[in-house]
Amino acid sequence: MSNACGLDFGTSNSTVGWTRPGHPAALLPLEDGKLTLPSVIFFHAEDPLVSYGRAALDDYLAGYEGRLMRSLKSLLGTSMMEDSTEVMGQAMPFRKLLAHFIGELKARAERAAGATFTRAVLGRPVFFIDEDPQADRLAEQTLAEIARDAGFRDIEFQYEPIAAAFDYEAKIGQEELVLVADIGGGTSDFSLVRLSPERARRIDRREDILANGGVHIGGTDFDRALSLARAMPLLGLGSKLRSGKECRRASTSTWPAGTPSTWCTRARHGRSSWTTIATRPIR
């Protein structure tokens, strides 16, 4: 089983864990000894350099010219997955953009483990997309295809709150009825699960999952609301232009993934500030 790993591609942060015979399950260090890798990519404009995680954020904040992208997971299940965006002067499909990050995540985990991972259990929210089963299935299918392109041959999925319940189950000594609340960067999921040391030995645990549900609301939504309410007015939102028109944010009604400015930004070196933009996809 040393060629298998558990991969959590998160809206805000991503992790990879593995287990070997005779060893407890453990997370792998992915960036400077840290167990998480922020789900962020920065494409430099002046050279072919691509940075990830905290390094990507550092490069962006240092003022290098390029393209910063975050909250990539929010694209899954939306029509934007079939579109492209401009990166380094060329059109890059959003699907390839996610493949960049998943591939980097796999490579870092393999270096840390000293092993090649060909099998993976991927975490997923209860619902990628609310009240749209077809889009939800498409999101899982797309993520599986991207993981295969990254080099994983065998792929399984596990609901993220159920995985959290099983981790808790390994630490209890008697049967418990547990409510798991998983409030993430992009989704919030809740599950009611029956747990016990005896039940932990079962392979099929479906009857122990009494209820689960989720909503497509998470930390990214709170960040956006806080930014629009407190930060953006200080930068001009709501003020009057010379033309007399009000400075306001662009309409997002046509964007299935929500406000693109929550995950897609462009940095301009040498200017007094960075501008968050909502770049329309290239069709």
pLDDT for 129: 86
CB of 51 closer than 8 Å to CB of 249: no
- Flag whether pLDDT at 100 surpasses 70: yes
CB of 83 closer than 8 Å to CB of 27: no
Residue 244: exposed, middle, or buried by beta-carbon count in 10 A (0-12, 13-18, 19+)?
Answer: exposed
Percent of the chain residues past pLDDT 70, beyond the cut: 87
- Flag whether pLDDT at 177 surpasses 90: yes
Domains of the chain and CATH, by start: 4-235 (3.30.420.40)
Predicted model pTM: 0.77
Residue 153, classed as helix, strand or coil, is coil
pLDDT (tens digit per residue) in 79-88: 888 899 888 7
Q: What is the C-alpha to C-alpha distance for residues 148 and 150, in angstroms, rounded to an integer?
A: 5
pLDDT (tens digit per residue) in 194-249: 999 999 999 888 899 999 888 888 888 888 888 888 888 888 888 888 888 888 76
Q: Over the chain, what is the mean pLDDT?
A: 84
What are φ and ψ of residue 185, in 5° steps?
-70, -35
Q: What is the C-alpha to C-alpha distance for residues 42 and 121, in angstroms, rounded to an integer?
A: 27
pLDDT (tens digit per residue) in 107-127: 999 999 999 999 999 999 988
Residues 155/158/163/169 CA torsion (nearest 10 deg): -100
pLDDT for 90: 85
CB of 159 closer than 8 Å to CB of 126: yes
pLDDT for 259: 42
pLDDT for 1: 57
- Flag whether pLDDT at 277 surpasses 50: no
pLDDT (tens digit per residue) in 33-69: 999 999 999 999 888 899 999 999 999 999 999 999 9
pLDDT for 80: 86
pLDDT for 124: 92
